[in-house]
Homo-oligomer: A and B are copies of this chain.
Amino acid sequence: MSRPHPFDPLTPAEISRASAIVKPHFPGLSPNFRVITLQEPRKNEMIRFLKNENDRSAKRPARCAMVQVAIVARTGPDQLFELIVDLDAGVVTSKKLLEGVHSHIDSAYMRLVENACLADPRVQVEIKTLNLPESATVVVEPWAYATDGRNDMSERTTMCWFYLRLVDNPDANYYAYPLDLCAEVSEKLKVTRVYRLPTSAGEKIHNKPLQFDRKRIHSADASEYHPDLRSAPRTTTKPYQIVQPEGQSFQTKGNFVTWEKWSMRVGFNYREGLTLHDVRYDGRSLFYRIALAEMFVPYGDPRCPYPRKAAFDLGNDGAGINANNLRLGCDCLGYIKYFDGWHNAPDGEPLRMPNVICCHEQDDGILWKHTNFRTGNAVVARSRILVLQTVITVSNYEYIFAFQFGQDASIHYEVRASGILSTAPAKLDESAPSFGTIVAPGVLAPYHQHLFSLRMDPAIDGHKNSLVIEESHPMPAGDPAVDNQFGVGYEARNSFVEQEGGFDLDHTKGRVFKIVNESIVNPITGTPVGFKILPCYSQMLLSHPGSYHARRSEFAKHAVWVTRYQDDELFPAGRYTMQSAGGSGIASAIERRRTENIGQSNVRNEDIVIWHTFGSTHNPRIEDWPVMPSEKMVVGLKPANFFTQNPGIDVAPSTQEQNRSVLVESETSCCSKL
Contact = CB atoms under 8 A, between A and B. Distances in A.
A301 B484 CA distance: 9
Contacts of A407: 237, 629
A244 B662 contact: yes
Interface in A223-242: 223, 225-227, 230-231, 233-242
Contact of A384 (B240, B366, B487, B623): B240
A251 B472 contact: no
Contacts of A398: 369-371
Interface string A336-372: 1110000000000000000000010101011111111
B335 A490 contact: no
Interface in A138-169: 139, 148-149
A351 to B, nearest CB: 15
Interface stretch (A124-132, A437-445, A582-590, A605-613): A437-445
A491 interface: yes
A454 to B, nearest CB: 17
A139 B325 CA distance: 59
Contacts of A438: 524-526
A193 B170 CA distance: 82
Given A243-B241, A622-B645, A639-B623, A661 B334 contact: yes
A298 interface: yes
Contacts of A334: 240, 661-662
A650 to B, nearest CB: 5
A652 B619 contact: no
A367, A380, A431: residue with the most chain B Cβ atoms closer than 10 Å: A380
Given A302-B483, A368-B628, A418-B369, A654 B330 contact: yes
Interface in A398-451: 398, 400, 402, 406-410, 416, 418-420, 431-435, 437-441, 447
Given A304-B486, A641-B621, A653-B227, A630 B363 contact: no
A225 B646 CA distance: 10
Contacts of A419: 368-370
A597 interface: no
A3 interface: no
A365 B400 CA distance: 10
Interface in A244-302: 244-249, 251-254, 260, 298-302
A380 B248 contact: no
A488 B544 contact: yes
B651 A490 contact: no
Interface stretch (A20-28, A29-37, A90-98, A473-481): A473-481
A359 to B, nearest CB: 8
B491 A526 contact: no
Interface in A497-546: 504-505, 507-510, 522, 524-527, 532, 537-540, 542-544, 546
Main secondary structure of the interface of A (DSSP, over half): loop
Interface in A293-344: 298-304, 307, 310, 322, 324-325, 327-338
Nearest to A479: B302
A652 B525 contact: no
A149, A367, A550, A630: residue with the most chain B Cβ atoms closer than 10 Å: A630
Contacts of A45: none
A302 B484 contact: yes
A627 to B, nearest CB: 5
A658 to B, nearest CB: 5
B477 A659 contact: no
Nearest to A639: B623
Contacts of A649: 225, 230, 626-627
A100 interface: no
A464 interface: no
B507 A439 contact: no
A525 B437 contact: yes
A463 to B, nearest CB: 23
A192 interface: no
A311 to B, nearest CB: 13
A332 B661 contact: yes
Given A227-B379, A304-B486, A474-B543, A238 B233 contact: no
B252 A246 contact: no
A639 B621 contact: yes
Given A474-B542, A662-B336, A400 B628 contact: no
A473 B302 CA distance: 13
Nearest to A433: B491
A327 B656 contact: yes
Nearest to A482: B302
A227 B380 CA distance: 10
Interface string A625-642: 111111000000011111
B629 A646 contact: yes
Nearest to A429: B526
A525 B240 CA distance: 36
Interface stretch (A48-56, A72-80, A562-570, A664-672): A664-672
Given A409-B623, A645-B622, A669-B251, A488 B549 contact: yes
A460 B626 CA distance: 23
A473 to B, nearest CB: 7
A375 B532 CA distance: 43
A359, A377, A537, A627: residue with the most chain B Cβ atoms closer than 10 Å: A627
26 contacts: A139-B374, A149-B486, A171-B377, A237-B407, A237-B652, A240-B334, A298-B488, A299-B488, A302-B482, A322-B373, A327-B378, A328-B663, A329-B656, A330-B655, A336-B661, A337-B668, A365-B630, A366-B418, A369-B400, A370-B393, A370-B398, A435-B475, A487-B544, A488-B547, A507-B507, A622-B643
Given A301-B489, A621-B641, 15 more contacts: A233-B650, A233-B652, A239-B246, A239-B660, A241-B659, A300-B472, A304-B485, A328-B661, A367-B629, A368-B627, A472-B542, A477-B544, A487-B547, A507-B539, A532-B621
